[in-house]
Amino acid sequence: MSTGHLTIDLDALAENWRALDAKSAVETAAVVKADGYGLGTEPVARTLAKAGARRFFTAVAEEGAAVRATLGPGPMIGVFSGHMPGDTDLIRDNDLTPMLNSVDQVLRHLESLPQQSFGIQLDSGMNRLGMEPAEWAALREPVLQQRPALLMSHLACADEPDHFMNEKQLRSFREMTDGLDIPRSLAATGGTLLGPDYHFDLTRPGVGLYGGRPFEDARPVVTLDLPVIQTREVMPGESVGYGNTWTAQRPARIATVAAGYADGLPRIMAPKLGLWHGDQRYPLAGRISMDLITVDITGMEGDVPEFLSLLGPHQGVDDVADAAGTIGYEILTSLGGRYARSYRS
């Protein structure tokens, strides 16, 4: 086996859900879009249901159907993209609850599936999904008569607690929904951490469950170990990798490990990334290629280990994201299909 080993700690996932649940006095859902943030819909949804989640959210109806196949009847499965053309059968057959985003979606849903539960997504300022305040004002009386399961909106800047946008969106959401006798949800991971004003009836964290910022107290969920294929000695003046970007200044020892940008490890992070063995960090030498990474292990004591660690106790998803100039969400959802995945619980 020469592929990287991706280990997903399902106990940590469950513990993160419980820890986020304990941050509010209200119900906590679980966002499992994009294949459970790249970690696998089935084990992720099963674990979170066992931890106590009773409502799940996906981005699109196809993902919702996969969650339903895993969990069976019972839990609510909400779909953020709402009721798209062609989704009607999926929504009905899998008992999904689309979060309707526009007048068109409301009409489509009520005409095609008048008995099927739905939520309403409102735009409180992010200008991405949901009905604008004026649209909602025009539509809300007839919609409310159909008893939506949820009124929801999404925060643009919740990972920055002092950002003016948080209060602004809170005000807008309240103006659109205060006084209505329908459950409400505004907070994802960031909003959950902003405190009770943001919790309403249901929080819906995603990234924090999987160990990512802004939930700083999260337990890490993924580890990634890369097998060492071979090692070699290089002499001063010799270069390593594409483009000769790394040249040995002293006699050096190079390990070549099996993973590359085809496995979701962005080339751009090479100068800032290290691989780990125990408590020791080893910098990359030269560029990340499609399937291989070269590491400067000069000075390593003892036998060369079978694996070097890319994600582990010393270097988490957000550290790797920082090195790549991106966010943990992107690292998680880019984790490649080539890794040997194992789930620990």
Ligand X SMILES: *Cc1c(COP(=O)(O)O)cnc(C)c1O
Window 146-205: residues binding ligand X (CB under 6 A): 154, 188-190, 204-205
User: In 3-state terms, the chain is what percent helix, strand and coil (to 5)?
Assistant: 35, 25, 40
Q: Which is closer to ligand X, CB of 80 or CB of 246?
A: 80
Token pair of 127, please?
């200008």
Window 280-299: residues binding ligand X (CB under 6 A): none
Residue 242 among the catalytic residues:
yes
Window 61-80: residues binding ligand X (CB under 6 A): 80
Contact 314, 279 (CB under 8 A): yes
Q: In whole angstroms, how close is the CB of 248 to ligand X at the nearest point?
A: 42
Pairing assessment for the beta strands 30-31 and 55-58 based on DSSP bridges: parallel
Q: In whole angstroms, how close is the CB of 16 to ligand X at the nearest point?
A: 11
Taking CB under 6 A as the binding criterion, the range among 67-75, 206-214, 216-224, 280-288 that sits at the site for ligand X is: 206-214
Q: What is the 3-state secondary structure (H, E, C) of 2-26?
A: CCCEEEEEHHHHHHHHHHHHCCCCC
Choose, from 23, 33, 210, 339, the residue flagged as catalytic.
33
* Cross-strand bridge partners of residue 283: 274
Name the helix (H) or strand (E) containing 81: none
* Cross-strand bridge partners of residue 203: 28
Q: Residue 98, interface with ligand X (CB under 6 A)? A: no
Q: Which is closer to ligand X, CB of 71 or CB of 150?
A: 150
Q: In whole angstroms, how close is the CB of 158 to ligand X at the nearest point?
A: 7
Instruction: Return all residues near 272 (Cβ < 8 A) that are at least 6 apart.
Output: 322, 323, 324
- Could you please report the per-residue DSSP string of 82-132? -S-TT-HHHHHHTT-EEEE-SHHHHHHHHHH-TTS--EEEB-SS--SSSB-
Q: In whole angstroms, how close is the CB of 216 to ligand X at the nearest point?
A: 14
* Cross-strand bridge partners of residue 57: 31, 78
Number of residues that bind ligand X (CB under 6 A): 12
Of 93, 81, 13, nearest to 46 by C-alpha is 13
Residue 33 among the catalytic residues:
yes
Q: In whole angstroms, how close is the CB of 188 to ligand X at the nearest point?
A: 3
Window 26-55: residues binding ligand X (CB under 6 A): 31, 33
Choose, from 23, 37, 210, 242, the residue flagged as catalytic.
242
Token pair of 143, please?
């919609």
Q: In whole angstroms, how close is the CB of 260 to ligand X at the nearest point?
A: 27
Q: Which is closer to ligand X, CB of 189 or CB of 309?
A: 189
Q: Which is closer to ligand X, CB of 14 or CB of 188?
A: 188
Q: Which is closer to ligand X, CB of 225 or CB of 318?
A: 318
Q: Residue 207, interface with ligand X (CB under 6 A)? A: yes
List residues binding ligand X (CB under 6 A): 31, 33, 80, 154, 188-190, 204-208
Question: Which residues are tagged catalytic?
Answer: 33, 242
